[in-house]
């Protein structure tokens, strides 16, 4: 509901994933990833922010490897809300999207996601 320090979805380590079921089928065009700004962090750093991540489109829940829609890097020195656009105009229609975090900015114990949004065009 807010982006106060600690109000996040945290997972152990620097790698993890979440599969999101969207309210309807869309043609994904972009994703937005949000973390707290450095200024709100008690130590002035955000090592728990995701660094490298990939986004996949899935046709069904039990699908082990969906279609890679894009791979990106969250800039921990940049704006806390960052939007990443998919380059392929021929992306299919999906209701399931997987966020796969590949690394974080150095926190050994956990990674935090404050908000993840999927943008797209209705099917």
Q: Which of 96, 98, 106 is nearest to 41 (CA)?
A: 106
Over residues 21-67, the pLDDT tens digits come to: 999 999 999 999 999 988 888 888 899 999 999 999 998 887 778 99
Q: Residue 101: give the domain boundaries.
A: 9-122
Q: Which residue has the higher pLDDT, 15 or 89?
A: 15
56 strand-pairing partners: 68, 98
Q: How many domains does the chain have?
A: 1
pLDDT surpassing 90 at residue 78: yes
3 occurs within a structural domain: no
Residue 1: pLDDT band (50, 70, 90) is: low
Residues contacting residue 112 through CB under 8 Å, at least 6 positions apart: 8, 9, 10, 35, 48, 49
**What CATH number has the domain bearing residue 13?**
2.60.120.260
User: What would the mean pLDDT of 110-115 be, rounded to a whole number?
Assistant: 95
d(CA 66, CA 85): 18
Q: What is the DSSP string of 58-86?
A: ESSTT-SS-EEEEEEE--TTS-SEEEEE-
Tell me the CB-side half-sphere exposure of residue 43, using CA atoms within 13 A: 6
Q: Find out whether 32 and 70 touch, Cβ atoms under 8 Å.
A: no
Q: Is residue 2 part of a domain?
A: no
């Amino acid at each position: 509901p807010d982006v106060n320090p600690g109000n996040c979805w945290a997972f152990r380590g620097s790698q993890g994933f979440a599969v999101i079921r969207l309210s309807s089928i869309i043609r994904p065009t972009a994703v937005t990833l949000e973390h707290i700004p450095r200024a709100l962090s008690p130590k002035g750093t955000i090592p728990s922010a995701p660094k490298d991540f990939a986004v996949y489109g899935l046709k069904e829940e039990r699908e082990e490897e969906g279609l890679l829609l894009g791979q990106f890097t969250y800039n921990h020195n940049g704006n806390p809300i960052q939007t990443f656009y998919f380059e392929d105009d021929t992306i299919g229609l999906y209701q399931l999207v997987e966020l796969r975090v590949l690394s974080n900015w150095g926190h050994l114990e956990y990674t935090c996601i404050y908000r993840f949004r999927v943008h797209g065009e209705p099917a």
